[in-house]
Chains A and B, each alone.
Chain A
Amino acid sequence: MELSGHLLSVLIFFPGFGAAALLLLRGDDHLWIRRLTFVVSVVEFVFSLFLLRAVPISAPGYSLVEFGHWISAPPINYHLGVDGISMFLVILTTFLTPICVLASWHGVHHRIKEFHFTLLLLEVGVVGVFLSLDLFLFFLFWEIMLIPMAFLIGIWGHERRLYAAMKFVLYTMAGSILMLVGIIWLYNATGSFDLPVIQQMLHDGVVTLSTRTEMLLFLAFFLAFAIKVPLFPLHTWLPDAHVEAPTAGSVILAGVLLKMGTYGMIRFCLPLFPEASHRAAPYVAVLAIIGIIYGALVAMVQPNLKKLVAYSSVSHLGFVVLGIFAFQNISMQGAVFQMLAHGVSTGALFLLVGMLYERRHTFEIAEYGGLSTPMPRLAAFFLFVVLSSMGLPMLNGFVGEYLILLGTYHVHWKWAAWAATGVILSACYLLWSYQRVFFGEVTHQKNRELPDLDTREKWILATVAVVTLWMGIGSPFFTRRFAVPCQTVLQQMNRSFAREAALPASVPSVAPDSSGRVLASTSMATSSERSGTR
């Protein structure tokens, strides 16, 4: 197939062409603008499904690699590639975009053309981030995607949208500028921006970073990613951005943008700076656990439904970070799975909250109550999504959390024990808020006449629900495909770490111990089969 040679380029730039085509339409032709965007995003989704066939399941390394010289000095290349992890994140992105178009069908009233233009540009940036194998290219897409997102929040958001948009941009930019300095530093040390090349150099010992340099570089990258995730003390932009963003913005933000941070950790922090990652792991894990519990506790006392979902993201993403920094194959698979599951189920939560907002124009839980009487279908879907988000077995949230806790337990049972409280807390805040919104008497007269789901909304939610269920039951379909990439990341880490550890002095006492265990556990039976049994 001719297309397959450039499938990744097509995936990145097709929405861009769609956006350009939108410009040709008349600004007041709202229906066709929406239709065109929807078609473009669905076609993009179909394209992304080709990845499932094109990416081999058991071979390590990147597939569908595209390589071209772009800038001669410094040598910046157009280097794309995909593996099992990035493949699913791309599919998640392309899956959520048409959903967002549908969800905004009635919710967005002004500057329709600009809205859809921005949405498609955002897709370009996000897909580009996941497919770039050149540090520079990665940074480029990472920055480009900021502006459309800020516009989504700032133009189509709610009351304090300008504040939220500015906060979002400044936070992210603060991290990414430091990452740029780190990237250039790395380039200065290795003479390349190419991720596989740099990895190989560090691995072969062609270039060695001093312990201090490695830690500084790790921090430069990690900070940018931790802001994006967001990890506990850096999370304060998130509730503002989520509450003020329009539904589509929230869905993309929670569904995909946060994953760019955790993806960056897996793709860059761990393989490039293994020793620093090991040394930082205890601190990162503590922050992640604080995030899990703190996020859940704050979510519990939120009077604002959307903020509640936002804080639940802080909690869920804490699991992902914990899973990554446990350096276990199982927990990392769990982390990747949790990234996908969170994207679908939190995306769905934001869709549902958005639907409530379209009917009542408020996010306050106190304004609702007893909604299951006027809106039984919406209530049913909401319950389904809530259950998946809190990790009910058979639904998608369970698999990720379980694998993360299982993997973490192997090495640090205390971490797992603390994190497990987050599972309980999530059941508390989700069910409690569900109860306050949907059960009981209808306390506000206005709520009595609220219309139930219309056909469009039913289709959106049914699609999401099917995916949620399938991810819960058919999880091996997913884990099978990212077992090898996770293994590769850990091997890259351990090999270079083992080399470092072979040097006696200056290595902290905990390190050889943990590395030994990591090696032991990664050689266990491939965990894809294990996860398939549940």
Chain B
Amino acid sequence: MTPPGAQDILRVLPELAWCGAGVLLMLLQPFVKNRQALTFISMLGASAGTLVTFKAAFGEGFGGLVQFDIFSLFFHWLIGLVAFLVILASDSYLERENLDAAEFYALILFATAGMGVLASAQELLTAFIGLEMSSISSYILAGYRRDSIKSSESAVKYFLLGSFATAFFLYGIALVYGATGSTNLRILATADPSSNLVRLGLSLILVGLGFKVAAAPFQVWTPDVYEGAPTPVTALFSAGPKAATFALLLRIFATIHAATDFWFWAFWILAALTMFAGNLGALVQSNIKRLLAYSSIAHAGYILVAMAAITTAKNSDSGLDPGTAYAAVLFYLLTYSLVSVGAFTIVSDLGGQGERYVNTDDFAGLGTRQPFAAAALSVFLLSLLGLPITAGFFGKLYIFTAAIKSKLIWLAILMAVNSIIGAYYYLRVIIVMYMHEYKGNVPADAPTSLSPTTAMVVIVTVLATIYLGLAPNHVLGIVLDPNLILSAR
């Protein structure tokens, strides 16, 4: 293997920028006490990682370990955007909860770098490194509110179960290596499709990644972790790692021929289970963070519907074009990430110190107390529900179209049923905000308005939600680019 050259470095430029910014923040910590300066620096770091993608040339790097193509470019932009928004949203949260800023931001940037690696990994061990980078940072972030029992519980739970899932992933890699003698996805693409060892290895990999995207039956950790983690971190969890892991899932299961023939039913069942687990679980939640956590499971289920559509379309004798299904996954990940970051950001601000006001009942009368926050949260909830002129509607429309194009009528109908179940709990929150009166007096320490930084994040995400709902042409043009479709090449 040749030593890495300048070309190789260019392929991982975004990750280098994010890691570099993280290290810089750690170094600055003893000297810079001003939280806002740290926020500013880390936002610069997050955007630097995104912007250097302009410089990063397409192609393979490090002898095929990473592959920087338009597909990973899309995900780098998405992840960078999420990191940027989450950092901006964390500023007031860290002040309110009196937490150290530098480490927090550094961890977010390290996690982001890990997600970047995941998105451009062309080789299973590289993917494993990316997964670990993002996971370990996430474990620490989940327990960042040390003095809160829930936060610690969240971290421990995430760590234990996450390690377990990672072990599955690693074991799967080992089996695949044993069967084919390689971990490179290019070589795997030509592997014997009927080898049981490859199938077993891939199914273990699917279990490991299924855990990361919170697919049922590996979703049990999600509500507890999402509830306990600091809310900006929850926003990150629900958007960044999920998108990056779906990128890896696409890369593996859309390129490997063995996988596409065999894994259709696996994705079908995963999708159906995940949708129902998420939506039925959310029905009975009174805590808004848990509700959104279950909703995030449900949305992973919707994306898995599109994954099932891809596996059908990639099937060599189906003659179907997987383009719509690809676009559906990418567009949905984008819209869901934006909406989810926005929703959790509002919740983090409305929660008040110590996150005490996170029950849906605490939002009673919000429509009159905080019209802006209530209206914005309604937009997000309606988008999650999939109502027209919001981004979520087009996301859902694309998945429906992909499913029907791939002749997955029953899965489409199951998804329709789930959308209706979802309507109930999303609307319930809106009803509480606008149609219930607050019982008793509103506590004095309840927040009365959004902090400026949160408001900025909320405005950006609301505008993006409506923009993508009204004029999605531009973004659709990007996600429908035929170059995005991964193939064994």
Question: Which A residues are within 8 Å of any B CB, using their own CB?
Answer: 71-74, 111, 139-141, 143-144, 146-147, 150-151, 154-155, 161-162, 165-166, 169-170, 173-174, 177-178, 180-181, 184-185, 187-188
Q: Contact at A162–B431, with CB atoms within 8 Å?
A: yes
Q: When each residue 406-424 of chain B gets 1 if its CB lies under 8 Å from chain A and 0 otherwise, what string results? A: 0001001100100110011
Asked if B472 is an interface residue, CB under 8 A from chain A, the answer is yes
Pull 21 A–B residue pairs with CB atoms less than 8 Å apart, ordered by A: A71-B473, A72-B473, A73-B480, A144-B387, A146-B387, A161-B435, A162-B431, A162-B435, A169-B427, A170-B420, A174-B420, A177-B416, A180-B397, A180-B416, A181-B400, A181-B412, A181-B413, A184-B400, A185-B409, A187-B401, A188-B404
Q: Contact at A144–B388, with CB atoms within 8 Å?
A: yes
Q: Which of A111, A141, A151, A181 contacts B416 (CB 8 A)?
A: A181
Q: Which of A72, A154, A166, A184 contacts B397 (CB 8 A)?
A: A184
**Bound Cα distance from A72 to B401, whole angstroms:** 15
From known contacts A144-B388, A144-B389, A170-B420, infer whether A188 and B405 are also in contact, taking CB-CB under 8 Å.
Answer: yes
Which residues of chain A are within 8 angstroms of B397 by Cβ–Cβ distance?
180, 184
**Bound Cα distance from A71 to B472, whole angstroms:** 7
Say whether chain A's binding surface is mostly helix, strand, loop, or mixed: helix
Q: Contact at A170–B424, with CB atoms within 8 Å?
A: yes
Which residues of chain A are within 8 angstroms of B423 by Cβ–Cβ distance?
169-170, 173
Shortest C-beta distance, B319 to chain A (Å), equals 14
Shortest C-beta distance, A400 to chain B (Å), equals 33
Q: Which of B401, B420, B424 contacts A74 (CB 8 A)?
A: B401
From known contacts A169-B427, A180-B400, infer whether A147 and B473 are also in contact, taking CB-CB under 8 Å.
Answer: no
Shortest C-beta distance, A228 to chain B (Å), equals 15
Q: Contact at A188–B419, with CB atoms within 8 Å?
A: no
Asked if B434 is an interface residue, CB under 8 A from chain A, the answer is yes
Q: When each residue 388-403 of chain B gets 1 if its CB lies under 8 Å from chain A and 0 otherwise, what string results? A: 1100000001001100
Closest to A143 in B: B388
A-B CB proximity, top 4 nearest: A140-B388, A177-B416, A154-B435, A143-B388
Closest to B385 in A: A173
Closest to A150 in B: B427
**Bound Cα distance from A165 to B424, whole angstroms:** 11
Q: Which of B400, B420, B477 contacts A173 (CB 8 A)?
A: B420
Asked if B33 is an interface residue, CB under 8 A from chain A, the answer is no
Q: Which of B401, B413, B431, B477 contacts A154 (CB 8 A)?
A: B431
Asked if B428 is an interface residue, CB under 8 A from chain A, the answer is yes
Asked if B140 is an interface residue, CB under 8 A from chain A, the answer is no
Q: Contact at B476–A166, with CB atoms within 8 Å?
A: no
Q: Contact at B428–A166, with CB atoms within 8 Å?
A: yes
Shortest C-beta distance, A508 to chain B (Å), equals 25
**Bound Cα distance from A111 to B413, whole angstroms:** 39
- Identify which of residues 143-165 in chain B touch chain A, using a CB-to-CB cut-off of 8 Å: none
Which residues of chain A are within 8 angstroms of B387 by Cβ–Cβ distance?
143-144, 146-147
Which residues of chain A are within 8 angstroms of B458 by Cβ–Cβ distance?
none
Q: Contact at B405–A71, with CB atoms within 8 Å?
A: no
From known contacts A161-B435, A181-B400, infer whether A166 and B427 are also in contact, taking CB-CB under 8 Å.
Answer: yes
Q: Contact at B404–A154, with CB atoms within 8 Å?
A: no
Asked if B382 is an interface residue, CB under 8 A from chain A, the answer is yes
Q: Contact at A177–B420, with CB atoms within 8 Å?
A: yes
**Bound Cα distance from A143 to B389, whole angstroms:** 10
**Bound Cα distance from A185 to B413, whole angstroms:** 12
Which residues of chain A are within 8 angstroms of B400 by Cβ–Cβ distance?
180-181, 184
**Bound Cα distance from A71 to B476, whole angstroms:** 9
- Identify which of residues 172-227 in chain B touch chain A, using a CB-to-CB cut-off of 8 Å: none
**Bound Cα distance from A73 to B324, whole angstroms:** 9
Q: What would 20 more interface pairs be, CB under 8 Å, given A73-B476, A177-B416? A: A147-B387, A151-B434, A154-B434, A154-B435, A155-B435, A161-B435, A162-B431, A162-B435, A162-B436, A165-B431, A166-B424, A166-B431, A169-B427, A173-B423, A177-B419, A180-B397, A180-B416, A181-B400, A184-B397, A187-B401
**Bound Cα distance from A494 to B418, whole angstroms:** 38
From known contacts A166-B428, A184-B401, infer whether A139 and B388 are also in contact, taking CB-CB under 8 Å.
Answer: yes
Shortest C-beta distance, B360 to chain A (Å), equals 13
Q: Choose among A143, A146, A178 the residue with the greatest number of B CB atoms under 10 Å from its CB.
A: A143
Shortest C-beta distance, B361 to chain A (Å), equals 14
Q: Contact at B435–A188, with CB atoms within 8 Å?
A: no
Which residues of chain B are within 8 angstroms of A73 by Cβ–Cβ distance?
476, 480
Closest to A216 in B: B409
Closest to A142 in B: B388
Shortest C-beta distance, A339 to chain B (Å), equals 25
Q: When each residue 362-380 of chain B gets 1 if its CB lies under 8 Å from chain A and 0 otherwise, what string results? A: 0000001000000000000
Q: When each residue 263-283 of chain B gets 1 if its CB lies under 8 Å from chain A and 0 otherwise, what string results? A: 000000000000000000000
Which residues of chain B are within 8 angstroms of A180 by Cβ–Cβ distance?
397, 400, 416
Which residues of chain B are within 8 angstroms of A155 by Cβ–Cβ distance?
434-435
Q: Contact at A140–B435, with CB atoms within 8 Å?
A: no
Shortest C-beta distance, A388 to chain B (Å), equals 35
**Bound Cα distance from A143 to B392, whole angstroms:** 13
Which residues of chain A are within 8 angstroms of B420 by Cβ–Cβ distance?
170, 173-174, 177
